[in-house]
Structure 1
Amino acid sequence: MYAAEFLTVALIHLLAVASPGPDFAVVVRESVTHGRRAGTWTALGVGSAIFLHVGYSLLGIGLIVSQSIVLFNALKWAAAAYLLYIGFKALRAQPAKPVAEGELHREVGERTPRGAFTAGFVTNGLNPKATLFFLSLFTVVINPHTPLAIQAGYGLYLAVATALWFCMVAMLFSQQRVRAGFARMGHWFDRTMGAVLIAIGVKLAFTSMK
């Protein structure tokens, strides 16, 4: 009975999650810089943050945030500040000593699972665009008369699908050949990613509610 609605939700989510944004940039940076383990934990952090969006959407809090300029701006500036912080931190990356391909695995331990998970969770959780996306999803696309249990099921799918997508991204960019290729660019990769994150942060800062 709800198959058509679920397929619509799944398709919209696929298009949204496949679009490059702060989540993608953070997962790629963690994967290339610290390896597959860190990238995977970051992906799981992003996926877990989806539960946050789904939760307040089901409770109606998302509607309150979307209608309050003060709350929306607070969320927006918090997200922008975080992205700018990690972006400027990446810009300060210094040239490192050459590392052999076989030694790349040593770098993985430099990033704790908690730190990587937090980076993914905060990046997605504070993104006001995600707030608006899930609000529109649960108020426009999903019929308000759809049972709460079914809507919660949609939310579970969205979280798992998001985590799996970014786990694949982490797997791709943490491959030894890929990491070795980026390693040849050394600190310039970090600086480039830092510039990307700063650009996203600035764009986010100027996001409007409409």
Structure 2
Amino acid sequence: MFIYLDEFLLIAVAHFFAVASPGPDFAIVLKQSVQRGRTNALWTSAGVALGILVHVTYCLLGVAILLSQSEAAFNALKYVAGAYLAYMGIQALRAKANTDPQSVNNEQSQVESYGLALRRGFLVNALNPKATLFFLSLFTLVISAETPSVVQAFYGGYMAVATWLWFSFLSIVLSKQAVRAFFHKAGHWFDRGIGIILIALAVRVVI
């Protein structure tokens, strides 16, 4: 494994900057942390990490080559991803004013099913063309074709775990009572702001 250390470090650095940059993953984790609370956001973060495994799997199977060579296939992915982000954005724009000032302290009243939270995070990442392009370039330009599949799978596993740790950290920070209370002062205006961001991301994904 030591002979692949330089390659691994390059991947780790590239992945860190990619996962830390603002995008759909950050937007959905922020939204879930503030609206639904810590536990829900942690499940959403786990879903984002599972989405990473989807990208890794199709890269290992060679499907990434198909996406890079088929404009129709890649465009289809873009439109599906854009539609999903736009749908979530529209839902957020329809948010109504919070009439219960104590609801920020009552996480259970705002929790949706953990399966739904997991699915939200998974779909946002798995359908994200930005992530597709990142892993496509990573597995074709950075990772050598001579690197064994088991080592490439290890890289993928590391990126999934690192993604989960990063967004779990954000979930813990963003779901603190002081942070949630700050955002809940604006309540529905915050929701609508996130909705605009999600729709803007949807447009950016398609264009």
Alignment match, 1:79:
81
Equivalent runs, 1:17-32 vs 2, <5 Å: 17-32=19-34
Question: Residue 200 of structure 1: CA displacement?
Answer: 0.4
Question: Residue 99 of structure 1: CA displacement?
Answer: 2.0
The one-letter amino acid of 2:188's match is H
| 3-state SS, counterpart of residue 29 of structure 1 | helix
Structure 2 unaligned regions, length at least 5? none
Alignment match, 1:120:
121
CA contact (8 A) 2:103 2:109 kept: no
Counterparts of 1:43 and 1:86 in 2: how far apart (Å)? Answer: 17
CA contact (8 A) 1:36 1:174 kept: yes
Question: Residue 128 of structure 1: CA displacement?
Answer: 1.1
Counterparts of 1:69 and 1:103 in 2: how far apart (Å)? Answer: 48
Q: Structure 2 residue aligned with 1:13, among 4, 15, 36?
A: 15
Q: Structure 2 residue aligned with 1:50, among 49, 52, 55?
A: 52
The one-letter amino acid of 2:70's match is S
Alignment match, 1:200:
201
Question: Residue 107 of structure 1: CA displacement?
Answer: 3.1
CA contact (8 A) 1:83 1:123 kept: yes
Counterparts of 2:194 and 2:57 in 1: how far apart (Å)? Answer: 31
Counterparts of 2:130 and 2:32 in 1: how far apart (Å)? Answer: 22
Alignment match, 2:150:
149
Instruction: Compute the TM-score of the two structures, normalised by the length of structure 1.
Output: 0.95
The one-letter amino acid of 1:58's match is L
Question: Residue 132 of structure 1: CA displacement?
Answer: 1.2
Equivalent runs, 1:34-183 vs 2, <5 Å: 34-100=36-102, 103-108=105-110, 110-183=111-184
Deviation by residue 1:132-181 (Cα, 9 ceiling, x = unmatched): 11011011101110111111000000000001101111111101111111
Deviation by residue 1:42-61 (Cα, 9 ceiling, x = unmatched): 00000011110000001110
Counterparts of 1:192 and 1:102 in 2: how far apart (Å)? Answer: 18
| 3-state SS, counterpart of residue 49 of structure 2 | helix
The sequence identity of aligned pairs, in percent, is 49
CA contact (8 A) 2:105 2:177 kept: no
Counterparts of 1:102 and 1:36 in 2: how far apart (Å)? Answer: 12
Counterparts of 1:167 and 1:178 in 2: how far apart (Å)? Answer: 16
Counterparts of 2:160 and 2:103 in 1: how far apart (Å)? Answer: 34
| 3-state SS, counterpart of residue 106 of structure 2 | helix
RMSD, aligned α-carbons: 1.1
How many residue pairs end up in the alignment?
205
The one-letter amino acid of 2:95's match is A
Counterparts of 2:45 and 2:104 in 1: how far apart (Å)? Answer: 25
| 3-state SS, counterpart of residue 111 of structure 1 | coil
Deviation by residue 1:82-105 (Cα, 9 ceiling, x = unmatched): 000000110010111132277332
CA contact (8 A) 1:101 1:176 kept: no
Instruction: Compute the TM-score of the two structures, normalised by the length of structure 2.
Output: 0.96
| 3-state SS, counterpart of residue 116 of structure 2 | helix
| 3-state SS, counterpart of residue 2 of structure 1 | helix
Alignment match, 2:189:
188
